[in-house]
Amino acid sequence: MSTEYIHFTEEQKQQARQTDIVALLQSRGEHLKRSGKEYVWRDGSEKVTVRGNLWFHQYERIGGDAVDFVRRFYNMDFPQAVNFLLGNNGGIIQRAEPVKREPPKPFTLPPKNDNMRRVYAYLLNRRGIDREVLSAFVHKGMIYESADYHNAVFVGYDEHGIARHAHKRGTGSESTYKGNAESCDPRYSFHWTGTDNTLYLFEAPIDMLSFISLHKENWRSHSYAAACCVGDQVLWQMMKENPTIDTVCLCMDNDAAGQAANKRISDKLFIRGIKHEILVPEFKDWNEDRLAAGGNAPHIRAEFSLPQEEIARRKKYAKHCSFSHRCRSHVCRPRCDNTDCSYL
């Protein structure tokens, strides 16, 4: 059905675009969570960051202004969205102050601690990372402990050996902190360049290290990358720098966001004619798979391994609801469409 034509002046269009999205969502009873200078709003299970009149969908990697937001999330066309944001459907819409775009700060690595006791204890004992694998990355200066908060820092270097990315992970017993250092370049997130033609892509550095720990045979010859999100910029950068890579294994988490990312990146690879497959962990992520195999890894302290009853529960879930473990199609579909199934 066609929308009635409405003439808007350029001033009206600009006014609509400047609508404060946070105020709009709050006026409609939506829940938002503050995160630094931004707010986080959930589109179902997926995260959308909002600041003033601008938004960005973290999983779909798209964004825009207030008009784009209403069109995307309220299913309106352009005239309907502008009319709505001008307040013609009832209510007063608050206008956002123009977002001041501050010049980006130069990227700097967090200060190094004089030892790595906490990081070694965290990655070896709590995360079950193989000591030989961990040492290989430490000796290359790719993992260290920060002096300020004693975080594990995972460093990504460019082709000239210059640090361009740092992902931080809290090591305290109660810490759930994780995040990237300011002004990181996502093209150079944590990665390992091998000598053969295969590249494995993960969400997080710990997943990448866990997978290598599970599959150690000739691991140094393969290439690995942790996007530190569900993006793919590091994938394309590594393929650009290493033209011999012709096979990609997508290894995102076994959850909705991870599998949506697998599907999205798989479609891009399929269009480009790049051979690839999707590898899905048996549990939620590769670290859980590593911990579940703790009985075969004597260095993993027993209290950090998953209890047997929990392993049994997750295997039952995985058998019923998980994605295919090795899907060679460019479209990976779940075996179960039961929307009531839940995991963690």
SS in 3 state form for the chain? CCCCCCCCCHHHHHHHHCECHHHHHHHCCCCEEEECCEEEEEECCEEEEEECCEEEECCCCEEECHHHHHHHHCCCCHHHHHHHHCCCCCCCCCECCCCCCCCCCCCCCCCECCCCHHHHHHHHHHCCCCHHHHHHHHHCCCEEEECCCCCEEEEEECCCCCEEEEEEECCCCCCCCEEECCCCCHHHCCEECCCCCEEEEECCHHHHHHHHHHCCCCHHHCEEEECCCCCCHHHHHHHHHCCCCCEEEECCCCCHHHHHHHHHHHHHHHHCCCEEEEECCCCCCHHHHHHHCHHHCCCCCHHHCCCHHHHHHHHHHHHHHCECCEECCCCCCECCCCCCCCCC
Query: In the structure, what pLDDT confidence band is assigned to residue 185 with cuts at 50, 70 and 90?
Result: very high
Q: Class of 10-85 per CATH?
A: alpha beta
**pLDDT tens per residue, range 157-178:** 999 999 999 999 999 988 888 8
Select the highest-mean-pLDDT range: 56-60, 282-286, 308-312: 282-286
pLDDT above 90 covers a percentage of the chain that reads: 53
Please report, for the chain, the start and end positions of each structural domain, with discontinuous segments joined by +.
10-85, 117-327
pLDDT above 70 covers a percentage of the chain that reads: 79
**pLDDT tens per residue, range 113-125:** 999 999 999 999 9
More confident residue, 285 or 344: 285
Average the pLDDT over each of 53-57, 92-96, 135-139, 336-340 and give the range with the smallest value.
336-340
More confident residue, 37 or 197: 197
More confident residue, 210 or 179: 210
pLDDT at position 243: 96
pTM: 0.68
Q: Is the pLDDT at 152 greater than 60, yes or no?
A: yes
